[in-house]
Amino acid sequence: MACRPTGIFFLFIALSATAVAQKNYTLTSPAGAITLTVRVADSVYYSVAVKGAPAVTPSPIALITSQKALGINSHVTKQTTRQVQDTIVNAVPIKRRNIPDHYRELTLSFRENFSLVFRAYDDGVAYRFTTVFKDSLIVEKEIATFRFPGDATGYLPLVQKRDKVDIFHTSFEEPYTVQPLSQFKREQLAFNPVLVDEGTRKVVVTESDLLDYPGMFVRGTQRNSLHGEFAPYPAKEEIQDGEFRQWIVTARKNYIAKTQGMRSFPWRIIGLAEKDGDLLLNDMPYRLATPAKQTDWSWVTPGIGTDEWICGANLRGVDFKTGINTATYKHYIDFASRFGMQYVMLDAGWSDNNDLLKITPGLDLKDVAAYAKTKNIHIMLWTLAMTLDRQLDEAMAMFEALDVKLILTDFMDRDDQKTVAFYQRMAEAAARHKIMIMFHGAFKGAGFERTYPNAISREAVLGSEYNIWSEKATPEHDLLIPFIRMVGGPMDYEPGFYKNANRETFRPLRDMVMSQGTRCHQLAMFVAYDSPMQIFSGNPSDAWPEIAYTTYLASLPTTWDDTVVPDAKVGDYLVVARRKDNDWYLAAMTDWTPRTITIDLSFLNNGSYRAFTCEDGPNATKNSEDYRMGYALVDKHSKLTINMAPGGGYVVKLIKLNDARP
């Protein structure tokens, strides 16, 4: 008994010493509305307030390595701050060409050979670890915690575990489950970005500068918080056979990454928006990513291209048997050329999936490539990721000889460290040959498109193809992804269906694929969704007779000098206006609720504009393919009244006239 008081006494001294050692550091955003507070004690905790109200409550962060636990009982040796007011000129402008890069930064240097860098922007905060170890570093675990005040609502793309593989195998294509965070179970996993609705504001959790490190999932806690989760490094892999073979992990290491000891780790991002529409403008992942090493990206030429896979090349009214053959692709080239599209995709099947050099019988690839060149159309080729990796040098030489401008690689379905390295290796190889690249079966971009501007877009979204076999691609879903998934970077949804159905008439039918919502709902995606390479997945046989509409669609830009959001509500509707040179393009979309929205055009410059409208027709509620086109003269003092049917849409091209009306 005599020793117990002594033990308690020493424990009290230790706790008191820890309390004395605690120190708070604060960082405010340039406009002053956001305050980030860092507390260094037994762990490092960060918290975020907006206009004095808590948005993220104290949340611990740490990096557990084989050498040291960085952030736990660590000691600050120095703090530095700086303020940056810069402009990033986007080589491939997605939301805007000139991106304001305004932030305040706090760097805490620790005795244990690491630093924590915090940034406060006017639309969110971010932090990252940096280390300065001479030798390589094994990261056993990262503690990334996001605690929220009150009972917030989460919009969670929950991973559905596949048979015979672990939960970290996913195509990153799931609908959003909307529920209180307290119902997000510990055994459940969601990939990011995720959205948290706190009532007075929206919070997006995501990451940036994801290089040589696993991507971050979030796990439920059955409380009002999210915990970061990372796929452990693969210890053993096997080939999963089937039509599209891929590597699957059958055993994993007891760590998540083995990497350089002197490096910066990915940014953890907490995006903040008091207005829903501000989520559509948030490009924090791009701003935080590593800039590209080379400067000449003039050969990266975005545009609109066709793809035959979703509609199964199910053409009609032609004098040849359709399929993966020369005649079919020449027909697609003629179609693209006639309406002013720039690209034609040859999707899965143009070669043996397991041998890119073995061209499918009946297809003369050289002839198709030469024919495309006579029509000023560029060729894009689909590849299986495992095959491309194995045949990389030979394949790239073949692509360059054929003047292929873009390749798509598919079926990675993972984001562990080894898979993340694959993306970087493929982007670098493509860049050496001046070829653009897209990724399907992929995780979100996380700013990769800044580091590699030739990585023009990627999937990581439940998109048009799901209409083949499910009812998941609803108008409600279409009005969630731009507020959540699109914060992570460009997304390849592949719109453009001409067969359109309402809630009662929709059926998933292979080769006779239709979409949910109206024709103009599909059209609006070409403007509202970020993707410098827009893929038209409609059937040319449906599009040929619709000359005016198809010409209108094909004329839409895919890169933008500026973007404004006049009105938007998560999951319900959006109105987005984009500028290209002197012209503006405005798109609106709604869920299954019909809407009338009046928009003032005060974002326009002085002078007159010729407005070319394409909107839901008077019978679009019953017949979703009904639309009408119109014309008017407008200026910055005008107002537009937008009428949208259930699952509807609206697009207007505002072409600047050469007058000087004030």
Q: Are 138 and 257 in contact (CB under 8 A)?
A: yes
Nearest to 491 by CA among 446, 527, 537, 444: 444
Instruction: Indicate which residue of 123, 307, 410, 459 is catalytic.
Output: 410
Q: Which of 308, 401, 395, 396 is nearest to 349 (CA)?
A: 308
Residues 257, 314, single domain; the answer is no
pLDDT of residue 154: 98
Q: Which of the residues 209, 308, 347, 465 is marked catalytic?
A: 465
Q: Is residue 348 part of a domain?
A: yes
**Residues linked to residue 127 through DSSP beta bridges, in sequence order:** 118, 268
User: What whole-number distance in Å separates Cα of residue 385 and Cα of residue 171?
Assistant: 13
**Nearest alpha carbon to residue 449 among 463, 441, 439, 440:** 439
Q: Is residue 639 part of a domain?
A: yes
Residue 190 lies in a domain: yes
Name beta bridge partners: 73.
none
Q: E strands of 95-193, at which residues?
A: 98-110, 114-121, 124-132, 137-147, 153-156, 177-180, 189-191
Please indicate, yes or no, whether residues 95 and 197 belong to a single structural domain of this protein. yes
Is the residue at 15 inside a domain?
no
pLDDT in tens, 600-647: 999 999 999 999 999 999 999 999 999 999 999 999 999 999 999 999
Determine the residue type at 256.
Answer: I
Quote the pLDDT of residue 531.
98
If asked whether residues 361 and 437 sit together in one domain, one would say yes
Let me know if residue 503 belongs to a domain.
yes
Pairwise CA distance, residues 295 & 213, whole Å: 25
pLDDT of residue 542: 98
Task: Give the model confidence (pLDDT) of 110-120 as tens digits.
Answer: 999 999 999 99
Residues 133 and 217 both lie in one domain: yes
Mean pLDDT of the chain, nearest integer: 95
61 with 159, same domain: the answer is yes
Question: Domain range for residue 248?
Answer: 26-288
Within a domain: 5: no
Cα–Cα separations (whole angstroms), residue 243 to 353, 384, 459 = 8, 10, 20
Instruction: For residues 188 and 260, state if they share a domain.
Output: yes
Question: For residue 19, what pLDDT is reported?
Answer: 40
> Residue 599 pairs with which residues in a beta bridge?
640
Neighbour tally for 241: CB within 10 Å: 8
pLDDT band at 151, cuts 50/70/90? confident
- The answer to the question of residue 582 being in a domain is yes
What global pTM score does this model have? 0.95
State how far the Cα of 233 lies from the Cα of 213, in Å rounded to an integer: 9
Q: Are residues 283 and 150 in the same domain?
A: yes
Residue 469 sits in the same domain as residue 541: no
Percent helix, strand and coil across the chain, each rounded to 5?
Answer: 20, 40, 40
Beta bridge partners of 138: 258
Contact 269, 48 (CB under 8 A): no
Show the CA angle centred on residue 430, arms to residues 424 and 434, nearest 5°.
135
Q: Can you tell me the distance from the alpha carbon of 214 to that of 297, in angstroms, rounded to the nearest whole number?
A: 28
Q: Are residues 320 and 425 in the same domain?
A: yes
The CB density around residue 13, as the number of other CB atoms within 10 Å, is 10
CATH at residue 621: 3.20.20.70
Portion of the chain with pLDDT greater than 70, in percent: 96
Window from 5-9, 139-143, 382-386 with minimum mean pLDDT: 5-9
Q: Distance between CA 336 and CA 577 in Å, rounded? A: 26
The first and second tokens of residue 509, run together, are 């039918």
pLDDT digits (tens, 9 = 90+) for 557-608: 999 999 999 999 999 999 999 999 999 999 999 999 999 999 999 999 999 9
List pLDDT tens digits, range 466-522. Answer: 999 999 999 999 999 999 999 999 999 999 999 999 999 999 999 999 999 999 999
Which of 261, 288, 315 is at the close of a domain?
Answer: 288
Do 222 and 203 fall within a single domain?
yes
The total number of structural domains that make up the chain: 3
Which residues, at least 6 apart from 354, have a Cβ–Cβ distance to it below 8 Å? 245, 384, 387
Q: Hey, what are 488's tokens?
A: 């992570």
118 and 200 together in one domain: yes
Both 322 and 365 in one domain: the answer is: yes
Q: Distance (Å, rounded) from C-alpha 432 to C-alpha 419?
A: 20
Indicate which CATH number applies to the domain containing 43.
2.70.98.10
Cβ atoms of 562 and 628 within 8 Å: the answer is no
Residue 12 pLDDT: 27
Q: What is the per-residue pLDDT for 659?
A: 53
Peptide bond into 193 cis (omega under 30): yes
The residue with tokens 């949910």 is 516
Strand ranges, E, within 397-478: 406-410, 436-439, 455-458
Q: Is residue 1 in a domain?
A: no
What is the spatial distance between Cα 656 and Cα 633, in angstroms, rounded to a whole number? 10
Measured distance CA(442)–CA(80) in Å, rounded = 37
Contacts of residue 361, defined as CB under 8 A and 6 or more positions apart, other chains included, come to none
Query: How far is Cα 545 from Cα 289, in angstroms, rounded to an integer?
Result: 45
Known active-site residue 465: yes
Phi, psi at residue 259, to the nearest 5°?
-150, 180
Backbone φ and ψ for 197, nearest 5 degrees, come out as -100, 110
320-325: Cβ within 8 A, 24+ apart: 323/362, 324/349, 324/350, 324/360, 324/362, 324/363, 325/362, 325/363
Instruction: Kindly indicate the confidence band of residue 121, based on its pLDDT and cuts at 50, 70 and 90.
Output: very high
Is there a catalytic annotation at residue 410? yes
| 3-class DSSP state of 520 | helix
Q: What is the pLDDT of residue 658?
A: 85
Instruction: Report the alpha-carbon distance of residue 591 to residue 521 in Å, rounded.
Output: 9
Phi and psi dihedrals of 25, rounded to 5? -130, 140
Q: Is the confidence at residue 4, as pLDDT, over 90?
A: no
How far from chain centre, in Å, is Cα 183? 26
> What is the three-class DSSP state of 202?
strand
